[in-house]
Structure 1
């Protein structure tokens, strides 16, 4: 099953959630946003005993958001995500703006990110091999999220400009990040392997990569072109749930996450860590090297520089470059 391809909706949806999904897609929001909004709206409906949202008002929204803070002890960011979903539901879908809300704010603080030292990253990567190792090196070397790596297509690797183009990243935004010198050869070899597999798929009557419907209509032959093939293709062909076409999608993140998790344990690292720590470590290394925080913000694709600034608290030398007086001796 292809997990990150939006399922096909009826041409004239009648079910509530199908109509909601259709509106979300008409606004060109990312599929991840669609999944998140639908998750919280379903939670809201269940919380109020399966009442239809059109029978609810700001009072019911305030009750739900307060419940998340008080009973569920959710974090500020979780409560804010739920709020965004419900604002979209009432304002955009139901055409019933909520106005000013009054609810109990979440108190659970935002935690500092876990970060690896450079030596720890080297130890983790040494316990990886093949595709998982290259994915990990891209996350650490370019600051990519795991699914940003796995969704890369051949055309997104720009060897001439030595940059990587991230398409429809978080927030459905495109951005550019660096292509490390040490990954030029490995990525060239990966592209060669990817295109050999693509030729085999074409010979067997397949070879079309998934494209969003708008792109598929605009570039009718693009799905079969080498440039649009996924850089990290899946090991097996699968049926696209929207078109029923047999395609080769990209690798799913779960297998790579398991491999990186196992490598962290083999490296003897006892921090609470997962694959995303490699991206955190990229940002921290750049801060330690003295790069401007606005530059780091752009490379990471953060909408707000305050999100990037959290790494100043975990960079080596006290986060602010401060030397402790106890280190000067007595």
Structure 2
């Protein structure tokens, strides 16, 4: 019987299965291994090292405009490939990092808030007004206990305090 050495990407799959990685992770890492090899014109990864990995990651960030998480996934796949299949440490990789977009919170103006509150009535208006005016969290508002004689709002079991009293 003729025993051939399995293809390189099949070796990667085999190692990942031995280490009990999920099938989706395996497919993803094989995909990144294939793209890395094709990017370097089908050179074997054993002939390459950190500079080639860095060039590939730079290509992904600059030319392909991938997200930061995609670039990190490609990096993790290549580090796994070199560490566990080729058994070679890559060392430091100073690739251009894809930037995560800065997300600003959506803040309503006073006029927008007043318009929204004016469209509500009854209990919904009361709860929305309480949330807006007091800084309560939604579940804190839903769990409020009413003490009519004290003109206070008591919040029990909030995240910040166990017991909190706010005057009306």
TM range (shorter): 0.5 to 0.7
Q: Secondary structure at the match of 1:89?
A: helix
Aligned to 1:69: 61
Q: Which runs of 5+ in 2 are unaligned?
A: 105-136, 141-168
Deviation at 1:16, TM superposition (A): 1.4
Cα RMSD after superposing both structures = 2.2
Q: Which runs of 5+ in 1 are unaligned?
A: 1-10, 113-286, 291-330
Q: Secondary structure at the match of 1:289?
A: helix
Does 2:38 match 1:46? yes
Does 2:144 match 1:289? no
Q: Say whether the 8 Å CA contact 2:82–2:88 is kept in structure 1.
A: yes
Partners of 1:55 and 1:89 in 2: CA distance:
13
Please give the residue correspondences for 1:154-303 in structure 2 after superposition, counting only pairs within 5 Å: 288-289=138-139
Aligned to 1:55: 47
Partners of 2:138 and 2:72 in 1: CA distance:
31
Aligned pair count reads 106
Q: Secondary structure at the match of 1:96?
A: coil
Partners of 1:79 and 1:54 in 2: CA distance:
21
Deviation at 1:18, TM superposition (A): 1.4
Q: Secondary structure at the match of 1:93?
A: helix
Does 2:75 match 1:83? yes
Deviation at 1:13, TM superposition (A): 5.5
Relative to structure 1, is the Cα distance of residues 25 and 46 closer, same or farther in structure 2, using a 3 angstrom cutoff?
Answer: same
Deviation at 1:111, TM superposition (A): 6.6
Please give the residue correspondences for 1:310-325 in structure 2 after superposition, counting only pairs within 5 Å: none
Aligned to 1:21: 13
TM-score (norm. length: structure 2): 0.58
Q: Say whether the 8 Å CA contact 1:74–1:108 is kept in structure 2.
A: no
